[in-house]
Structure 1
């Protein structure tokens, strides 16, 4: 991955995170280039979600440094990090089930006001949200809830999106819709750090890749290079030739 400070939006240097007695992140070094989609891969329990939550300040790093746009955010609070321009879409989506689609999005908008042009753009990405504008979030399908969670993260312009396992349990048609949405976000200059288990989904979508194992980054490089190297896929991810799902 590019290591020039001008091209780097987010950098983790030797980051350790403890959760209770468990030492989850054990010296994570990660660079996220500006304007690209970086995929964080690894087996279950490798520390991927903890990495996102540590960046967002939901877990406090016990050692190391996290910098965003040249600013040290290691000890910043979650609201401060959000105001700096980072949005987080957790694996459980975190929508408010009792609130309508409109109300969920209004909570994320500055002063509760929508920018009409941006809202139209979001409806173009996720037409179902316009269709179910007044439906409670809890009554949406799994795919629609994921759309709502992402829409809430982008209802205001953000420099960086942290997205955890967006395709989990979703139908292929919805997955294709999400891929197009991520491409559109990249075209608008949004940087994305995406945690994902579905290699088939990310192999054509990601620009850069980092692979985690046991709380450390064990590989970084271009996604195209990993996609073309089945032996490397097998060594890093346990994938067999042709098994890309």
Structure 2
């Protein structure tokens, strides 16, 4: 099994705070790896460290075997790592079209966008086609999340980092996201996803890593964790069966 991303003994400090305590994490290529854990366990900090937003203070991060520990965020993005933050990072006054032009990086205008890839994204998220010229601030919460994901995917990427995509969304919108990520799975897109919606984690995850207090405390197949309620209670304090 080839790993797209590896973290080996990674520590992260933010000011006086020691956030990550020797994280060891491997994300297999072509699979969806779920990063689970209680609030404050270090999941978002892990994604931010991968992107170079918070530099690692110790340890090594590798993408496709290449050390990226000392790289800047733009350098990491240019390698093919895309990031959808928990806040989504949507600009209210910009249109859907504007956001995708920004995400494409090489495009200066909508006419420069790869039409085949744009049509593929419209297939995943039809609402973006419908509201193409609408200010993003007028979209619903779920539509904004779809826009944030589409912006990350408009330029081809080899690894997608997604932080709690279902947070605050209605169940019907969560189902639409599950359908979209299921299509990404079929295309063998490598995804590292932080998620609190355990039904979504169960539906999408191939692998799972569980964090606690800035460390990885469990790794394995998502299906095995989903079938073991005792392990779920010990690691997460709840049951996937109840969430599903």
TM-score (normalizing by structure 2): 0.96
**Helix, strand or coil at the partner of 1:203:** helix
Paired with 1:242 and 1:180, the residues of 2 have a C-alpha distance of 20
Paired with 2:240 and 2:98, the residues of 1 have a C-alpha distance of 46
Tell me the C-alpha RMSD between the 2 structures: 1.1
Task: Give how far 1:196 is off.
Answer: 0.4
Q: Deviation per CA, 1:10-69, whole angstroms, max 9, x where unpaired?
A: 000000000111100000000000000000000010000000000000000000000001
- Aligned position for 1:152: 151
Within the candidate set 28, 44, 48, 2:43 is matched to 48
Paired with 1:168 and 1:243, the residues of 2 have a C-alpha distance of 18
Within the candidate set 101, 107, 111, 1:111 is matched to 107
- Output aligned runs, 1:10-159, within 5 Å: 10-109=5-104, 110-112=106-108, 113-159=112-158
**Helix, strand or coil at the partner of 1:99:** coil
Paired with 1:222 and 1:172, the residues of 2 have a C-alpha distance of 25
Conserved in 1, the CA contact under 8 Å of 2:178 and 2:203? Answer: no
**Helix, strand or coil at the partner of 2:204:** coil
Paired with 2:229 and 2:200, the residues of 1 have a C-alpha distance of 16
Paired with 1:207 and 1:146, the residues of 2 have a C-alpha distance of 22
**Helix, strand or coil at the partner of 1:17:** strand
Q: Which runs of 5+ in 2 are unaligned?
A: none
Point out the more displaced range, 234-243 or 66-75: 234-243
For this pair of structures, how many residues does the alignment match?
240
Q: Deviation per CA, 1:89-114, whole angstroms, max 9, x where unpaired?
A: 00000011110000011111122321
TM-score (normalizing by structure 1): 0.96
Task: Give how far 1:82 is off.
Answer: 0.3
Conserved in 1, the CA contact under 8 Å of 2:226 and 2:241? Answer: no
Q: 1:169 to 1:152 in 2, by over 3 A?
A: same
Task: Give how far 1:117 is off.
Answer: 1.0
Paired with 1:215 and 1:98, the residues of 2 have a C-alpha distance of 37
Task: Give how far 1:242 is off.
Answer: 4.1
Q: Which runs of 5+ in 1 are unaligned?
A: none
**Helix, strand or coil at the partner of 2:11:** strand
- Aligned position for 1:211: 210
